[in-house]
Each structure stands twice: as structure tokens, then as C-alpha cells.
Amino acid sequence: MKNLLNFLCILVFFSSTNGELVDIDSNNIETVLNSHELVFINFYADWCRFSRMLAPIFKAASDEAIKKFPQTGLVALGRVDCDKNPDIAQRFSVNKYPTMKLFRNGQMTKREYRGQRSADALVNFLKEQMKDPIHHFATEEEMDDFEARKRSIIGYFSSKDSKDYETFEKIAKSLKEDCDFFVAIGDVSSKERQSGDNIIFRPTGGDPDMVYLGSLSNHDLLKAWSTDKCVPLVREITFQNGEELTEEGLPFLILFHKKEDTESLELYKKVLSRNLIHEKARVNFLEADCDTFSHPLHHLGKSTSDCPLIAIDSFKHMYLFPNFNDLSVPGKLKSFLEDLHSGKLHREFHHGPDQSDNAAKENAPPKKTPPGTVEKIQEEKKKQDPKTTPPESIFKKLEPSEHRYSLLKRSKDEL
């Protein structure tokens, strides 16, 4: 009897999720996410006019998706009322309404939907997500002649009907925006499978391949390795991906350089990989084209002729690394970042150089800034050299538009 009840509950659940837009709450979210390959969720609030505008469009997309993907457990569209389910909104870092996020095999993908808001566009987005991202080598000649145009992960398998290939396929779908995925099956891949199924990473530029040495069936381990290889330490910021990068909520450390100046970029990458890779979780390491982003350079008191140069954008202020040539000096860039995290850059902007630093130099006890002098210090600094005043964040303006979303107030440290 108990088994029969469980079966009926599952049957009712799939009937609802395959026949209409799913209202998701804390009681059913795990079931919904884990019962479909793709789940597309609209996070909304009833008071938000943009949410009300999207509601009928999202419902129409859901109705159309049912026709396109009728198979059980394939695709579901759901909605979360964030006022009624603030725990879910917080869990998935929803900070504006409406927000549309895609979940694959129970895991949230890192890029939310920012495309056109029409039923056709939403359904086409899902159709693109369902395409097989893996390119298949048909012959050994194709494998031998292959030259990576983008970071690529290549799998060599004896058969598609294996746990190893299933894991590879899931990861390819998760990281298809960051890497190209290729596979060779059976006899075509025999020379690359001397010791069994094999996976390699092939970077661009003729650098040597890197072999994955872990368990091929361990999804979490292979995904961590693939993500590390596919997502570069230094990413290029553009107007197209600026909103996405700002929403990660991490300060920017940006190298501004001319497109043809690859030498400065390689030096920047080298210093970061050797000394600051542990900061990857707290800072976004970026590069920017000087000509494209001449506007923030102007606010820093610089022009494209001053490139290369390095700056921090904390989403409150921008701070200029004093001298690009100091990049090679051990500890200089690290100290610059530490001054951001400690608040020193912001503090010295408002109060002048730290008294403790001056006192240490003069072997004298530190002195406190007298009350009421902060404004005088700021005005004096502006008179002496306007360029010493860090400008307001420019890249913050790449955040989501208030004409498209209801933005929630976010508490950020004033760095």
C-alpha cells in the first residue's frame, strides 16, 4: 500500500510539472530540480511591475515548451515568489526582479538568462540548451589535424554507453560556454586509449596538452578540473559581459592595455598566477582594451597613451596602481590588493595617509586625526592634486538597468 501511494505521488508530480508552469517553494524545489535535466525558473515579486510584465510571457513560453519537450523529466519551467520564499531567493543570490536562472541536473548554471523577453526567445534559449555540445571525431585524420581555436577538452572513450562518457557529457553541457568539447569513440580513439578511457585539455596557442589524472566517473572531481582549465584566471571584460561580471559581486583588478600589447598581458598573468592565485575567490582578475574603455581611464586622470596601467574598481571607487613598472617588484601588487581588503585605500582617501604609517617612519607614537578635519583634508587634497581623489566606480554602471529590473538594495563594504 505504501509503495502504491509513493507511485501515485510521483505520478501526480510529473503530471503537474509536465502540464503547466510549476509553482516552486521550499517543499518541492529539490524534487523539481532533481527530476529534470533542465529547469528554467523565473524568480519574481508581485509588487514588481517588470515581474508582472514578464508573467504572461513566461507562462506562454512554458505552454510552448511542453509541446517542444514532451518527454518526462526533460524540461520544466517554474516560478518562485521571492516574497513568500525569501530563503530560496537568498540561496540562489537573487538581487533583482525578475531574475531567470537555468538549472541543469539539479545545479544552477553560472549565467542567468539576459536575453530578449518574449515567449519565442525563451523557448529558443531552451532549444539551444538542449543541443548536444560535443563535437565528434569521425576519423583519425580529423584528430591529427585538429587545432584548438578555443580552450578545448577532448575525451577518448571505448563506448558512449559508459558511466565515464555520461559524466563527460554532463560536464560538457555545463561548461559549453567556456570550452569546446570533442570526443572520439571506439576504434578512432584506440591509439589514445592505451591504458583505458582518457581525457585531455588542449589550450590555444600551441601550449602542451594536459591530461586528467583523476577518476573519469567522479563528476565533482572532473568538473572542478574542467572548470579550472576552461575558465581562465584573467578574463576580458567587454560591454557584453560587464553586467554578468558585476553581478558576481567581486571587486575588479583590471589591466588596461592595447590589444596589440600582449607582453604586458603575459606579465600580468604571470604575476597573478605566481603570487595571487589564492585571491581568485575574492577578486575578479580582468583585462580591458584601452580604446574600448577610454572612459574609465579618463576618470582616473589617464588616457589611452598611458596604457598599460592597472586599477581596482571596488564598485564604490576606482584606485590606480601607482606605477605599472612596479608590477615585477615582489609583493607590490599583493600589497595593493591587501590595502583594498583592509580598507586602507578607502580610509586614506577620506583621512589622508595612515597616521600609524607616518608614526612608524618617524619613530613617534601615532596621532589621531582631530575631530572635524576630514572635510578639510579632502578639500585640501582636491586643491593640491585633483587626480589623487579616487573617482567613483565606472564599472558599477554596467550593473543591471533599473529600466529592466527592480533592483534590491545590497549591502556592500565601502572599499
Query: Residue 367: what are its φ and ψ, rounded to 5°?
Result: -110, 145
Cis peptide upstream of residue 400 (ω within 30 degrees of 0):
no
Q: Which of 25, 31, 23 is nearest to 89 (CA)?
A: 25
Q: How confident is the model at residue 42 (pLDDT cuts 50, 70, 90)?
A: very high
- pLDDT (tens digit, 9 = 90+) per residue, 57-112? 999 999 999 999 988 889 999 999 999 999 999 999 898 999 999 999 898 987 88
pTM over 0.85: no
**Model pLDDT, residue 5:** 43
**Model pLDDT, residue 29:** 96
Local structure of 397: helix, strand or coil: helix
Rg (CA), the chain: 26
What span, in angstroms and rounded, lies between the C-alpha atoms of 201 and 152? 6
Pairing of strands 309-313, 96-97: unpaired
CB atoms within 10 A of CB 108: 16
Q: How confident is the model at residue 262 (pLDDT cuts 50, 70, 90)?
A: very high
Which DSSP letter does residue 275 get?
Answer: I
CATH code linked to domain 235-407: 3.40.30.10
What span, in angstroms and rounded, lies between the C-alpha atoms of 54 and 325? 51
Length of the chain, please?
415
2-130 folds as Glutaredoxin (3.40.30)
* Domain locations in the chain as residue ranges: 2-130, 134-230, 235-407
What span, in angstroms and rounded, lies between the C-alpha atoms of 346 and 349? 5
Residue owning grid cell 526533460: 74
**Model pLDDT, residue 351:** 64
Cis peptide upstream of residue 308 (ω within 30 degrees of 0):
yes
CB 354 within 8 A of CB 347: yes
Q: How far is CA 361 from CA 86, 149, 206, 333, in A?
A: 51, 53, 50, 22
CB 327 within 8 A of CB 271: yes
What span, in angstroms and rounded, lies between the C-alpha atoms of 54 and 126? 17
Please indicate whether the domains covering 2-130 and 235-407 agree at the CATH topology level: yes
Query: Residue 319: what are its φ and ψ, rounded to 5°?
Result: -130, 135
CATH architecture of 134-230: 3-Layer(aba) Sandwich (3.40)
